[in-house]
A and B are shown apart, each in its own frame.
Chain A
Amino acid sequence: MKINSTGEVLTVYLEGEIDHHSAKSIREEIDTAVEFNMPSLLILDFSGVTFMDSSGIGLVMGRFKTLQKSGAKLNLSNLPPNIYKVMKLAGIDRLANIDKGA
C-alpha cells in the first residue's frame, strides 16, 4: 500500500482485496498515517482494489468519522465499477466525494 503526503493532502493507494480479513491492517495503516500527517484532505484511491465487500464500507465510514473530528475531508477516487456499486448501495456518496475513475 503506497501512501503519499503533500502536507495538506494525504493520498492512500489501496491495493488488492478489502474484506473483513484484510480490513484491520489497512485501517491501522491509514490511521497511523492520518495521525502523523494531520491532513485536511484524505484521498483513498481504489484503482488497485480488485474486490470489496461491506467491510470496506465499514472502513470508509470509520475513517470518515475520525476525519470529521478534525474537520478534514474525505475523497474516494478511481473506483472500479464493482466497488462503486457497493459504495453506492451504502450511500457513501453522501459522506464523501466519489470519483468513479475511467
Chain B
Amino acid sequence: MKQINKFSMSIPSKSANEAFARVTVAAFAAQLDPTLEEISDIKTAVSEAVTNCIVHAYPDSIGTIYITGEIIEDNVVKLKIRDRGCGIENVKQAMEPLFTTGGTERAGLGFAVMQSFMDYVRVSSKKGKGTSVILKKKISDK
C-alpha cells in the first residue's frame, strides 16, 4: 500500500492524554476532508484504544503509548495504537461486547465501538509484552 503521509508520537499513559491523542489523530485525518461524522467516529475509536492502554495495559504504573498514523491509498486512514503493557490473555474474549475487567463503571464496549465506527480493527497481544491495535477507516469521496 502506497503511503501518502504519516506521523508518529509517544505519550505517557496519563488520562489527560486521552483527549490529546484523539484530537491529534483527528487533526492528522483532517487532510482527507472527512465529514463531521467520520471525524467523530475516528476520535471515538482512538479514545477507546488509548483508554484501554491506560486502564488495562498499565493499570498500576505510567507506561508509554505509541501512536502512528498513515494516510494510504484510496483515502484510507490507518492508525496503530501500541503499548508495552501487561498484554491480553484472551483477545477474543476481551473483544466480546460487555466483557470487562474494569469494574462496574466500565461498560465493556471499547472494542465494540472501535468495530462499529471503523472499517477494520485488528488486535494482537502477547501476555507480558503488550498489545497493538490497528484501525483503518476509508474517508468518503465528496
Interface positions of A (Cβ within 8 A of B) = 17, 19-21, 23, 27, 51-55, 57-59, 61-62, 65, 81-82, 85-86, 89-90
Take A21-B19, A81-B37 as given contacts and tell me if A57 and B107 are in contact as well, using a CB distance cutoff of 8 Å.
Answer: yes
Interface residues on B, range: 20 to 34
- The interface stretch among B46-54, B59-67, B75-83 is B46-54
Interface positions of B (Cβ within 8 A of A) = 15-16, 18-19, 22, 36-37, 40, 43-44, 47-48, 51, 54-55, 104-107, 109-110, 112-113, 116
Chain B positions within 8 Å of A62 at CB level: 104-105
Q: Is the interface of B mostly helix, strand, loop or mixed?
A: helix
Q: Are A20 and B104 in contact (CB under 8 A)?
A: no
Total A-B Cβ pairs within 8 A: 67
Q: Is the interface of A mostly helix, strand, loop or mixed?
A: helix
Q: Are A21 and B15 in contact (CB under 8 A)?
A: yes
Report the separation of the CA atoms of residues A20 and B15 in the bound assembly, to the nearest whole angstrom: 7
Chain B positions within 8 Å of A55 at CB level: 51, 106-107
Excluding A51-B43, A89-B113, 5 further A-B contacts by CB distance (< 8 Å) are A19-B47, A20-B51, A54-B51, A54-B107, A55-B51
Report the separation of the CA atoms of residues A86 and B64 in the bound assembly, to the nearest whole angstrom: 28
Chain A positions within 8 Å of B22 at CB level: 51
